[in-house]
Amino acid sequence: MSLGAESAGISVKYAVEKDPYAARTYQVNHPNTCVINSDIREFTTIPSDLADGVTVLFGGAPCQGFSTSNRRTSNRDNIDNWLYKEFIRVLRLWKPDWVVFENVIGIIEMESGAFFSEILVEFEKAGYTCSCSVLDASDFGVPQKRKRVFLLGAKSGERVDFQMHGKFPLVTVKDALLDLPKLENGANTDVMPYDQAATSNYARAMRGKLIKCSGHLVSRNADYVIERYKYIKQGDNWESIPNDLMGNYTDVTRCHTGVYHRLLENDVSVVIGNYRKNMLIHPWCDRGLSVREAARLQSFPDKYSFIGSIGFQQQQVGNAVPPLLAKKVFELITKGA
């Protein structure tokens, strides 16, 4: 979200991030932002230099409990589902001009919408007029079908029209990945040159003036997993794998459609979530996605680097709001300011 905010003309002065690896990644890529590596519940004092100009508080409460693929914790008993109250606590403490709150669409489906209604009431009690919408990243030049809820609150009482002008051309998986290096299962050379000249406007925008980039790390899958990949055509999933190769599953029919999904090169990607756990498959190679490939599908520019082991890097990419989508949301504020 910060990358999108900065692209829309917002200067991000402070960021609060509990995870140490995500905090280090943030600091490396946002050197002019003060990163507070702490739990939001320990953030109790608003810095004195946050009173100048038009001010914006933005972020998203932990979303795992609201995910449609994680019904086990989608209830009031999950303590993390209440961390949005910390967001509102900071909002009341600071009272910025604007607030931007993002989450997965499961948050509006939880308890038939009653939970999200409570959140709206809390924002309004804090003094903000709210506008909200479900936006799909693929509608804004991101090569991924990823729906997210955005809530914009204005202290001025203004309502926001989410009908953004201009139609973005569809950016496909092939547009996003074709120029990146050819990699093998378990590839672990972080920085590499590009495989070829950029073959799409999207790839050119992601590359900028770089001649090489980082993130060419791929999880090493066992041989029996790679053998399964060979049976899956683009757009297909685990259902294409012969039953005799799925013997380690107690009940293979319980696999959801996103498991062992091979990406379609001429369409947008499915959601880039925990792509290692889901065994998301490269469109042309019998392997999982590299960190950089997943970052491309999220619309991170190639200059953006990720810190930590491959597992931590994968989690950071998968948890992120696509920067190009975030930019369009923040432009609803900056273009009217």
Report the catalytic residues: 63
CA distances from 187 to 175, 215, 216, 250, 272 (A): 22, 10, 7, 30, 20
Cα 197 to chain centroid distance, Å, stands at 27
Cα dihedral 158, 41, 10, 177 sign = negative
